Amino acid sequence: MANKQSFTAEEWNKILESVALAGVAVTAADPNGLLGTFKESFASANAVISAKKNAEASDLVKAVVADFESSEGRHRIRDALKARLAGAKPGDVSKRCLDALSEASSLLDAKAPKEAAAFKSWLRAISDRVAEAASEGGVLGFGGAKVSDKEKATLNDIAKALGIAA
């Protein structure tokens, strides 16, 4: 079973970062104002919290969740996100997220082949929850589409970056 010790410190940071970027990619694809961004951020955080309660979660997922719960882990994630997204123009954010997800996918395949598919599916599930968190294109959350076309395209791009079925 793979866990935190299966990765170098730099590799582990990329795995941690992938969890946050799975949601950021969707949010950046079709920003939806302050309330929508809040709902999408909450959905991403809630997906991580839900994994902690899931008895079927892998040791790798549990290790990631434990780091998200620690002050040190959150600081590492924040610093990695700042570095990854520094100077990015709005249109570049999703691309940088997808590149990072592709890197994480390769790391998972190399270092945690038995857990890779489940972990990648979890990342995709986080993206799905973010996409479904706030209606797009309506007024005050009414009348819009649950998932916008841009978000759907980004979800497909995320699956492609992770090397899993859309």
**pLDDT digit string (tens) for 54-101?**
878 888 999 999 999 999 988 998 999 999 999 998 789 999 999 999
pTM of the model: 0.88
Residue numbers of the domain that contains 78 = 4-162
130: nearest Cα among 101, 160, 99, 151: 151
pLDDT value at residue 148? 86
pLDDT value at residue 7? 96
pLDDT value at residue 138? 60
User: How many other CB atoms sit within 10 Å of the CB of residue 18?
Assistant: 27
Question: Distance (Å, rounded) from C-alpha 56 to C-alpha 52?
Answer: 10
Look at the chain and report how many structural domains it folds into.
1
Over the chain, what is the mean pLDDT? 88
Assign 137 a pLDDT band (cuts: 50, 70, 90).
low
Which residues, including other chains, have CB under 8 Å from residue 45's CB and lie 6 or more apart?
Answer: none
147: nearest Cα among 128, 126, 161, 132: 132
Distances from the Cα of 84 to the Cα of 18, 96, 98, angstroms: 11, 7, 11
pLDDT value at residue 136? 61
Tokens of 88: 């990015």
- pLDDT above 90: percentage of residues in the chain: 58
Distances from the Cα of 18 to the Cα of 15, 45, 122, angstroms: 5, 13, 11
Examine the pLDDT at 134 and tell me if it is beyond 80: no
